[in-house]
Each structure stands twice: as structure tokens, then as C-alpha cells.
Amino acid sequence: MFQKVIFCLFFLFIPLNRAAVNTVANSPFTSSDPVSELAVGEQLFEEMELGGTVNFIAFRQAVAGYNRIKEKNKPILTLIDFSKPSTEKRFFVFDMEKKKLLYSSVVAHGRNSGENYATSFSNQYGSYKSSLGFYLTENTYQGGNGYSLILNGLEKGINDKAKARSIVVHGAPYANPSVAASGRLGRSLGCPALPTKLARPIINTIKDGSVMFIYANNPHYLAQSNILHKN
């Protein structure tokens, strides 16, 4: 089992070039199609011209999970990249059919996950930490933080308590870019909080059954993910 985990980590954290595509034929990330899931992610990354904007490894993992989640209702993929600081744009929304980046924004993380960088994650109620992994978006509601979007965590033990913890997408003044002048955005109670002006249009784009992936350079998550390691 240990050797299998190391093997998977090796392929996720090295750049993939076209000459290497055939070498991953027996990887756990290879689908039944002739072209591996890793190669699909690489091709999309190039076609969408995301270099210099989006983390390639984060995008590749997001695409692999997106393709495996059959319950999705729309061709929209959201990537939150917590390997980036809160002062940088790290919330990305993609139209997977049109192969287009629709939105990029700053986003706040949980107050106990870290300062400018999110480095600690939890699935526990009251932790006030962000949770990694794959989600499906659900319906919207008007709550204490205004217009909000319910998230259904798909990975047991990693983010499946998101709904019970009221982890939702919402807008917040502390997530506005002007706050970052102090050295970091404000922080939430674990929710991915967006700038006030962007929250509604983004929520309306991703609501009702799209895939969201919250990424960090976190070997523990990678070893435990039941979606990235699904056979």
C-alpha cells in the first residue's frame, strides 16, 4: 500500500510532457480511455492557455476528479488553490465545454487554517478551518452572510461534514481585495468567502450541481482521497 501511495505522489508532483504520456498507462489515474486522465488535464491546460495564471498540478487533479464525478449536472468546474496566498487570485471558475476561464478572484479561508496561507485543514465542527477535496454545489439561500451557496462534501473523513458545519460560498467585506493591503484577507469560519461584488454572479454560475475542488499541496489529503484514488 505504501509503495502505491508513493507511486501516485510521484506522478502528481512532476511536470508531464507529451513524450511521457505513454509512461503513465498503468497509473491509478489512468481511465479506460486510450488517453490518460493526466494527459487530458495537460491538454486542457494548454488549450485554455492557463499558464502563468493557474497552478498546473492543482488543475490536473481538479480535472481528474471532475471527470470521475458522475453526479454533476453542469459542465462547470471551480478550483480553489490554497497553495497560493490569500492576497492572490486563487478562486477559478471554468466552463469545461467551452474550455474557458470564466472567473478568477481572491477568496478567504478559515481563521484557524492559517494567516496569509491556508496550511491546516479539518472536517470537524467548530474547528473554523477550511476543508480540502471535491464538492458538489447545491441550492442557494439568503442567510446571515447574504446570498449563499450550499456545498456537499463528497469525501468521507475529509469534507463530508461541510453541510453540517454550514460551510458555504458567500460574499463578505473581509474578502474584498482592498483588505489584502494589510498583508492578508480577512478569514472566515471555514467558508470560501468571496468579494462582495463577485459573490452573486459566481454563485449563480456554479450553483445546482457543479464540481468544486479545494486544493493544497497536502500529501495527507492526496493519500486519503477516495476520488483521486478511485479505480
- pLDDT confidence of residue 119: 97
Fill in the amino acid letter for 93. V
Give residue-wise pLDDT tens across range 90-125.
Answer: 999 999 999 999 999 999 999 999 999 999 999 999
Does residue 36 fall inside a structural domain? Answer: yes
Mean pLDDT, the chain, rounded, equals 87
* pLDDT(155) > 80: yes
Of residues 119 and 230, more confidence is placed in 119
Task: State residue 39's pLDDT score.
Answer: 80
In this predicted structure, what is the pLDDT of residue 231?
53
Asked if residue 230 belongs to a domain, the reply is no
CATH code for the domain of 67: 2.40.440.10
Provide the residue range defining the domain that includes 218.
Answer: 2-224
Cα 14 off chain centre by: 19
35 within domain boundaries: yes
Burial class for 14, CB neighbours closer than 10 Å (0-12, 13-18, 19+): exposed
What confidence category does residue 33 fall into, taking pLDDT thresholds of 50, 70 and 90? low
Q: What is the mean pLDDT of residues 184-200?
A: 98
Assess whether pLDDT exceeds 80 at residue 62: yes
pLDDT in tens, 200-228: 999 999 999 999 999 999 999 999 999 99
Average pLDDT over residues 150-177: 98
Would you say residue 149 lies in a domain? yes
Say if 76 falls within a structural domain. Answer: yes
Number of structural domains (the chain) is 1
pLDDT of residue 31 exceeding 90, the answer is no
- What's the chain look like in SS3? CHHHHHHHHHHHCCCCCHHHHHHHCCCCCCCCCCCCHHHHHHHHHHHCCCCCCCCHHHHHHHHHHHHHCCCCCCCEEEEEECCCCCCCCCEEEEECCCCEEEEEECCECECCCCCCCCCCCCCCCCCCCCCCEEEEEEEEEEECCEEEEEEEECCCCCCCCCCCCCCEEEECHHHCHHHHHHCCCCCECCCCEECHHHHHHHHHHHCCCCEEEEECCCHHHHHHCCCCCCC
**Is residue 229 domain-resident?**
no
**pLDDT at site 193:** 98
- The reply to whether 146 falls in a domain is yes
